[in-house]
Amino acid sequence: FDHFGVDKQIKSSLGRTVSFKNGAYLIIEHTEAFHVIDVNSGNRVKLGDDQESNALEVNLAAADEVARQLQLRDMGGIIVIDFIDMQSAENRQKLFEKMRSAMELDRAKHTILPLSKFGLMQITRQRVRPEMTVTTTETCPVCHGSGKADAAILVIDKIEDQLEYLVEEKKIKYLVLKVHPFIEAYLKKGFWSLRRKWAFKHRIHLKVVGVPSFYIYEYKFFNRFNREIESE
């Protein structure tokens, strides 16, 4: 799964935002009462095209993707789709017919209503199997979901405090500090960098290594054998 990126494809296909054509995308929200799908044109703008024809093209492409997502996720109950507004009754009818055509292969029982005057389309669909739900969000490793993070300068102080503990209490003289590349750049900035100051102050060998997979304030100390040193 990792080699072929299957997990990444599943999460991108079943996430809240689904891209489908030339920068256009869907936003899919689930509530207790019904599902809401919002169609957005994104950056898709063709020079020389009027807004109506541009909206029609995006809406027709969105109809195909909506039909695909309904089956992929097996979304049941009431689905409300907010298409891009169109003024032409003919274009609105084209979209309705396109949606019916796109849903023809759906084996679940469904009913499609024409666009309302507000540009909303309502679909009722019977669920064939348990709804596919894949969590595509993660708790922020920096703030742990609180929405607040420590000031950057305090993180540097924490690193230095742990460094002093490892040197003074555990008598370790060779250390490898692994941090996010941004923090690495800050610690190595200038000839008389913080890394050099700390190494000179504590008379130790200190190596700083940037790890792109670390979150911004994550840091770990390792010994000369590349074994992580647990803090107490």
Starting at the earlier edge strand, list the strands of the sheet with 219-222.
Answer: 205-210, 174-179, 219-222
Extended beta strands in the chain, E state: 17-21, 24-30, 35-40, 77-82, 110-112, 120-125, 174-179, 205-210, 219-222
Domain count, the chain: 2
Q: Which residues contact 230 (CB under 8 A, 6 or more apart)?
A: none
| Banded pLDDT at 33 (limits 50, 70, 90) | confident
Does 77 map to a domain? Answer: yes
Of 93-97, 158-162, 198-202, 228-232, the poorest mean pLDDT is in 228-232
| Banded pLDDT at 216 (limits 50, 70, 90) | confident
Does 179 map to a domain? Answer: yes
Which tokens sit at 130?
């348990």
pLDDT at 3 over 80: no
Q: Which residues contact 225 (CB under 8 A, 6 or more apart)?
A: none
Q: How far is it, in rounded angstroms, from Cα 83 to Cα 85?
A: 6
Does 136 map to a domain? Answer: no
* Residues 74 and 110 grouped into a single domain: yes
Does 79 map to a domain? Answer: yes
Neighbours of 10 (CB within 10 A): 14
The arithmetic mean of pLDDT across residues 28-48, rounded, is 77
Q: Residue 60: in which H helix or E strand, if any?
A: helix 51-73
The arithmetic mean of pLDDT across residues 21-25, rounded, is 80
pLDDT digits (tens, 9 = 90+) for 147-200: 666 666 678 888 998 999 899 888 899 999 999 999 999 999 988 899 999 999
Does 209 map to a domain? Answer: yes
Q: How far apart are the first and last CA of the chain?
A: 37
| Banded pLDDT at 45 (limits 50, 70, 90) | low
* Cβ–Cβ under 8 Å, residues 42 and 77: no
Backbone angles phi, psi at 48, to 5 degrees: 90, -15
Does 39 map to a domain? Answer: yes
What is the domain extent for residue 98?
A: 6-125
pLDDT: which is higher, 33 or 58: 58
- Looking at 125, 160, 181, the residue that finishes a domain is 125
- Mapping DSSP onto H, E and C, the string for 207-220 reads EEEECCCCCCCCEE
* Residues 59 and 10 grouped into a single domain: yes
* Residues 100 and 171 grouped into a single domain: no
